[in-house]
Amino acid sequence: MSFELVDDVSNANKLLVPVTGTNELFAGQLVQWTGEGVAALGVANGAYDATDDSVVAGIVLGTTNEDKVFEDGTTVSGFAGEEITGLVTQAGLTGRTQIGNRGMYAKGEKMCLVEIAKIYADTRIKGRFYNAAYGTAPTLLTSTNTSTDGLGITTNAADVAGVVDFSTLYCRSGANARSYRVTDDTSTTVHTNDIPITNDIAIGATFVKVFGKQGFARLQFDAQSLYINTAAVTTSYWGVFIDTMDLRVAGEESCIFTFSAQHLGIPTA
């Protein structure tokens, strides 16, 4: 699974837009306005993407390729969604067959187009947490010591060091199963929290830790903007508001979020 709209897609504001240059785009991908149309949103560059100041456009729903093309693992291993690659030569355009043009684009228009659902400040998006590669679950953490106050535990290394008040530890097994706690450490192995975990923690209890938390949060994506990267460097990130997190099942860890308005084209300076 890549990114998807939480609310009814039939009510979304959908547009056909050009693929910028020779970019390769995928269904379920977050894209930005750039160049002649859209390209992958990609990784944030700096805190709240301050370096690039990219403008979020939407989520790709599909393409105008008459003969649908699907990713074969060449660009994104393990991903098999619909794809399209932009064309920038006249020969390439005249040799292309397309379907579904509408709106401002005539039926005979050969330009490579994708349908996107536009993203606004209240657009709720569901994304999966993966560990540095599409489909790879966040690392399972196992406690190596006991805790009788619920304020800290030591485990094997998480995917990335914690960020004070911006990371979440989830108890997957043991006496505290299904408990979430925001952490205040900067470690990969020693996890601490201000609100105690309710029950004593035993050796062998399992956990998952991700960069993100409910409420105003920070997330980082992969280069193709198909998933939330739990192994990302935590000094560069997007600003989001997370409604809910679900870290219960390995390989299905996810959250539902909206983008901070600063990423939607509102001047920040």
Q: Which one-letter DSSP state was computed for residue 45?
A: -
Residue 269 within a domain: no
Last residue of a domain, one of 107, 123, 139: 123
pTM: 0.95
pLDDT per position as a tens digit, 101-123: 998 999 999 999 999 999 999 99
CA distance 154 to 139: 14
Cα 166–chain centre separation:
16
Residue 268 within a domain: no
What's residue 179's pLDDT?
98
Residue 149 within a domain: yes
CA distance 233 to 225: 15
Residue 210 within a domain: yes
Residue 16: name the closest of 78, 99, 104 by CA: 104
Low-confidence ranges of the chain (pLDDT < 70): 267-269
Scan for tokens 């609310």, then name that residue.
7
Residue 215 within a domain: yes
Residue numbers of the domain that contains 243: 127-263
* Stretch (H or E) spanning 92: helix 90-94
Q: Are residues 245 and 134 in the same domain?
A: yes
Q: Which one-letter DSSP state was computed for residue 139?
A: P
Scan for tokens 């001047």, then name that residue.
267
Q: Are residues 107 and 168 in the same domain?
A: no
For residue 253, count CB atoms less than 10 angstroms from its CB and return exposed for 0-12, middle for 13-18, buried for 19 or more: buried
The total number of structural domains in the chain stands at: 2
Q: Are residues 69 and 91 in the same domain?
A: yes
What's residue 81's pLDDT?
95
